[in-house]
Amino acid sequence: MFSYEEFCQAVVEQLPGYLTQYDIENIELNKVTKNNDIEMTGVVILREGETLAPNIHLDLFYEFYRVGYFTLDNVCKAIVNEYERAYESIAENKFSYALNDFESVKDKLFIKLINHEANKEVLKNAVYEKHMDLAACVRVLARFDEDGIGSTVYDLGLLEKHGVSKSEVIRIAFENTRKLFRPEIKNIFEVLENSGDYFATGNAPLYVLTNEYGINGAANMLYTDILDEFAQGNNMVIIPSSIHDVILMKDSDAKDMCSLRELVKHVNATIVSKSEFLSNNIYKFDAKTKQLSIADNEKELNQDDKLRD
């Protein structure tokens, strides 16, 4: 049985024999650092005369191979199927803009909220704004269809190429985020009922802040008006559930912050996947000052940490 590295190399060497119907210019491995600095290896299949190519991750295919569910032949055939599906998305013009052209890109910019410390590698070359222990990272929306969201980091190279300021790119990304992904706040019982995990019989003082798609919705905790409208004059506690959503509750309902913080750490360690981890901290929104702080360090935000309105 191949090791993971041997498996990836074998895939690259054998794939050309499964793609003879296409004019393939190059097949190579591509390592990508995902959220929370998780590194994944993909295979890129580029056709002659083209500049865009799907990046097909190999990690899951290797697991199927490792446990004996797939042979290498099965793997290559499955990769070709995935490649054809992904290539069709490109051909249908879902990537209808050129990254080199800022006018084509700017309406696709959005914010993904991630943990700053856990994403040091990703953030080295990224355009982002730091908020407490979090980073509002600018990304470019590549596709948005029935298969989900595809995006890429808006990096410093693009910033230089486009000739715009970092502050302008971040401003546009914040404006776009709530347009592309409409914010939503729901009672947590409603969310659990819809998921089929729990059936509620009463009202709970907990609410989930996300967006209409439930993807990368935690970024909404940075918008002043969303928090202020919901708070209705009450100070709020914000519990980081994942990069996709956060939980809101009145400060007066948070009786034991120490126990709550330990619960967050436990859930992050045992339930939340590493790629979706947001933070072990709890945050407070001050309804009077319209500012956000880490609950055990409630000093006012500096200029870089001002909330969005």
> What's the CA angle centered on 116, arms 307 and 206, to 5 degrees?
55
Strands 109-115 and 134-145, bridge-based pairing: antiparallel
Give me the pLDDT at residue 67, please: 84
Q: Which amino acid, one-letter code, is at 166?
A: K
> Tokens in use for 208?
């989930």
59-66 and 72-91 helices, crossing angle to 10°: 160
Instruction: Single out the residue of 268, 269, 263 nearest to residue 278, CA to CA.
Output: 268
Give me the pLDDT at residue 17, please: 93
Give me the pLDDT at residue 194, please: 53
Q: Is the pTM of this model over 0.95?
A: no
| Dist. CA 251–CA 9, nearest whole Å | 54
Query: Per this entry, what is the length of the chain?
Result: 309
Distances in whole angstroms, Cα of residue 206 to Cα of each of 185, 196, 228, 256:
10, 18, 16, 15
Contact at 8 Å (CB) between 109 and 173?
yes
> Tokens in use for 99?
């990254």
Give me the pLDDT at residue 126, please: 94
Give me the pLDDT at residue 273, please: 84
Rounded mean pLDDT for each run of 10 residues along the chain, 309 residues in total: 91 92 88 74 83 79 87 91 76 58 90 94 93 95 71 90 95 95 84 47 69 91 92 90 90 76 87 88 92 68 47
Q: Rounded to an integer, what is the distance from CA 306 to the centroid of its chain?
A: 22
